[in-house]
């Protein structure tokens, strides 16, 4: 009897854990090729932020500008390799956050080029990161059936 009780307790504890790990983000459907493209862009975003952070720490504004410009909207409208099918699938909110990121990179590049203080580029980086994290908290990609 004691064992049965312990088993029930264990099962309850496990089910609570499973519930806590539930993913409540909105699922957006993409084909494997679209997903691969999106994730590739994402990794480039992260690399750019790494590079910008590194260059800022060395007060190397030319490199800040270069890394930021490479991910900005001017050089990426559309981003090379962009799949035509993707645009129609983007919600307004998705597009807004993606645009904030692209425009943010262009703004960092312009700021570094005109020699504004590093605090300004740090604040712009913070703004970009807010769009990264907002989108990540909202969406997850699921493969199109
Ligand atoms: C418009 C929405 C959106 C924006 C903006 C966005 N992401 Fe993402 N990102 C996603 C989604 C969706 C995933 C996949 C999450 C999932 O399916 O669990 C993802 C995945 C990633 C990954 C994982 C890549 C991999 O290979 O698995 C990285 C790294 C990443 N994002 C970095 C960033 C950075 C850095 C920024 C900001 C500069 C950013 N993202 C902005 C939506 C976004």
Domains of the chain in sequence order: 21-143 (1.20.120)
- The helix/strand/coil state of 24 is coil
| Residue with token string 């539930």 | 22
Is 37 a pocket residue for ligand 1 (Cβ < 6 Å)? no
| Residue 1 CA, ligand 1 centroid: distance in Å | 50
| Residue 87 CA, ligand 1 centroid: distance in Å | 16
Look up residue 38 and give its two tokens: 């999106």
Is 49 a pocket residue for ligand 1 (Cβ < 6 Å)? yes
How does pLDDT run across 56-107, given as a tens digit for each residue? 999 999 999 999 999 999 999 999 999 999 999 999 999 999 999 999 999 9
Look up residue 141 and give its two tokens: 């990609």
In SS3 terms, 86-141 reads as: HHHHCCHHHHHHHHHHHHHHHHHHHHHHCCCCHHHHHHHHHHHHHHHHHHHHHEEE
- For residue 133, count other CB atoms closer than 10 A to its CB: 11
**Per-chain mean pLDDT for the chain:** 92
Query: What band does 10 get if pLDDT is binned at 50, 70 and 90?
Result: low
Lowest mean pLDDT among 4-8, 9-13, 41-45, 65-69: 9-13
Residue 9 has pLDDT above 90, yes or no: no
| Residue 38 CA, ligand 1 centroid: distance in Å | 8
| Residue with token string 């690399």 | 47
**Treating both helix axes as pointing N-terminal to C-terminal, what angle do 118-138 and 32-57 enclose, rounded to 10 degrees?**
150
Residue 8 has pLDDT above 90, yes or no: no
Strand partners, 26: 139
- For the segment 33-62, the average pLDDT, to the nearest whole number, is 98
Is 141 a pocket residue for ligand 1 (Cβ < 6 Å)? yes
């Amino acid at each position: 009897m004691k064992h049965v009780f312990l088993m029930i307790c264990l099962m309850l504890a496990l089910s609570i854990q499973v519930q806590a790990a539930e993913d409540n983000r909105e699922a957006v459907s993409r084909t494997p090729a679209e997903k691969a493209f999106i994730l590739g862009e994402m990794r480039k975003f992260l690399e750019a932020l790494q590079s910008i952070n590194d260059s800022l720490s060395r007060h190397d504004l030319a490199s800040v500008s270069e890394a930021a410009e490479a991910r900005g909207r001017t050089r990426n409208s559309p981003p090379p390799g962009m799949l035509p099918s993707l645009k129609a699938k983007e919600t307004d909110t998705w597009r807004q956050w993606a645009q904030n990121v692209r425009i943010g990179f262009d703004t960092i590049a312009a700021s570094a080029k005109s020699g504004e203080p590093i605090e300004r580029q740090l604040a712009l980086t913070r703004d970009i990161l807010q769009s990264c994290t907002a989108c990540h908290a909202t969406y997850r990609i699921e493969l199109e059936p």
